A and B are shown apart, each in its own frame.
Chain A
Amino acid sequence: MTHFFLSLLFFALPQSADPAALPPEAAVLLRSGIEAENHHDEDTAIAAFRKASDAAPNSAVVFFRLGSAYMKKRDYFSAVAPLKRAAELSPEAPAVHQMLGFALLSQGYSNDAIPHLEKAQEYGALGIAQLQSGHPEEALANFQLALAKSPGDPDLLYYLSKASTSLASQSVDKLLATAPDSARAHQVLAQHYFSIKSYPEARKEYEAALVQRPDLPGLRLELGQVFAAASRWSEAEDQFRAEVKLQPGSAEAAFRLGDSSLQQGKMNEAATELQRSNELSPNMSETLYALGRALAVGDPQAAAKSFTRVTEIEKDSPLAAQAFLALAGLHRKLGSSPLADRDMQEYRRITAKTQPPEHSND
Chain B
Amino acid sequence: MLLQISRKLAVGLLSISTGGNSFAQLANSPSQAIFSVEPLQGVDFTLRNSPTSRKYLIETMPGGAALLDYNNDGLLDIFLVNAGRIQDPLTVPPSFSRRDPRYWNRLYRQNKDGTFTDVTEQAGLADAGDTNYGMGVAIGDYDNDGFPDLYVTNFGKNILYHNNGNGTFTDVTAKAGVAAGGWSTSAGFFDYDNDGKLDLFVARYLDWTVSNSKTCGPATRSTYCPPGEFPAASNILYHNRGDGTFEDVSVPSGIAAKKGHGLGVAFADYDGDGFIDIFVANDVTNQFLFHNNGNGTFTESALDVGAALTSDGKMLSGMGVVFQDYDNDGLPDLLVTQLPHQPYVAFHNEGKGIFTAQELETGFGALSGTVSGWGVGLEDFDNDGWKDAFIVQGHVFDNVEMYDSTLRYREPPLLALNHNGRFERANAGSQIPVAGRGAAFGDLRNRGSVDVIATSLGEHPQLYSNRGCKNHWLGITLRGTKSNRDGFGARVRVNGQVRFATASGSYLSSSDKRLHFGLGSATKANVEITWPSGIHQRMQDVTADRFITVEESPQ
Contacts and interface: CB of A to CB of B under 8 A. Distances in A.
Contacts of B404: 197
Nearest to A330: B356
A176 interface: no
B360 A230 contact: no
Contacts of B360: 262-265, 267, 293
Interface stretch (A21-29, A84-92, A272-280, A320-328): A320-328
A325 B286 CA distance: 13
Interface string A72-101: 000000000000000000000000000000
B405 A322 contact: no
B232 interface: yes
B361 A267 contact: yes
Interface stretch (A40-48, A116-124, A167-175, A231-239): A231-239
A230 B369 contact: yes
Contact of B365 (A263, A322, A333): A263
A169 B288 CA distance: 49
A199 interface: yes
Given A325-B313, A361-B259, A264 B228 contact: no
A197 B370 contact: no
Interface string B302-319: 011110010111010000
A322 B285 contact: no
A198 B402 CA distance: 11
A297 interface: yes
Contacts of A232: 369
B153 to A, nearest CB: 21
A332 interface: yes
B82 to A, nearest CB: 32
A362 B315 CA distance: 15
B260 interface: yes
A359 B227 CA distance: 11
Given A263-B366, A322-B313, A361-B259, A230 B361 contact: no
Interface of A is mostly: helix
A361 B232 contact: yes
A280 B154 CA distance: 57
Contact of A231 (B228, B369, B405): B369
Contacts of A199: 405-406
A67 interface: no
Contacts of A293: 311-312, 360
B195 interface: no
Contacts of A200: 405
Contacts of B365: 233, 263-265
B315 A344 contact: no
Contact of B309 (A233, A267, A297, A325): A325
B304 A344 contact: yes
B366 A234 contact: yes
Interface string B343-357: 000000010101011
Interface of B: 228, 232, 257-260, 282, 285-286, 288, 300, 303-306, 309, 311-313, 315, 340-341, 350, 352, 354, 356-358, 360-363, 365-366, 368-370, 404-406, 422
Q: Which of B288, B356, B360, B368 has the most CB of A within 10 A?
A: B360
Interface residues of A, number: 34
Contact of B313 (A263, A326, A358): A326
Interface string A332-362: 1101000000001001000000000011011
Contacts of B363: 264-265
A128 to B, nearest CB: 32
A86 to B, nearest CB: 50
Contacts of A329: 306, 311, 354, 356-357
A352 to B, nearest CB: 13
A330 to B, nearest CB: 9
Contacts of A335: 352
A359 B304 contact: no
B356 A358 contact: no
A297 B421 CA distance: 14
A344 B301 CA distance: 13
A132 B405 CA distance: 35
A361 B369 contact: no
Given A325-B309, A329-B354, A361-B258, 18 more contacts: A200-B405, A231-B368, A231-B370, A262-B360, A264-B366, A265-B361, A265-B362, A293-B360, A322-B312, A326-B311, A328-B306, A359-B286, A359-B315, A361-B232, A361-B260, A361-B282, A361-B285, A361-B288
A361 B287 CA distance: 9
- Find the residue from B285, B354, B363, B368 having the highest chain A CB count within 10 A: B354
Which 3 residue pairs of A and B lie closest in terms of their CB atoms, listed nearest first? A231-B369, A322-B313, A230-B406
B364 to A, nearest CB: 8
Interface string A300-326: 000000000000000000100110011
A231 B350 CA distance: 28
Nearest to A335: B352
Contacts of B405: 197-200
Given A200-B405, A263-B360, A359-B315, A332 B354 contact: yes
A359 B303 CA distance: 13
Contacts of B361: 265, 267, 297
B111 to A, nearest CB: 44
Nearest to B360: A265
Contacts of B341: 231
A293 B314 CA distance: 14
A321 B315 CA distance: 13
Nearest to A356: B228
A230 B370 contact: yes
A331 to B, nearest CB: 10
A303 to B, nearest CB: 11
19 contacts: A197-B404, A197-B406, A199-B405, A199-B406, A229-B406, A231-B368, A234-B366, A265-B366, A293-B311, A297-B358, A322-B313, A326-B311, A329-B306, A329-B357, A333-B350, A335-B352, A358-B228, A359-B285, A361-B260
The residue among B311, B313, B356, B357 with the most chain A CB atoms within 10 A of its own CB is: B313
Contact of A333 (B304, B312, B356, B369): B356
A232 B366 CA distance: 8
A346 B320 CA distance: 31
Contacts of B422: 265
A31 to B, nearest CB: 59
Contacts of A230: 369-370, 406
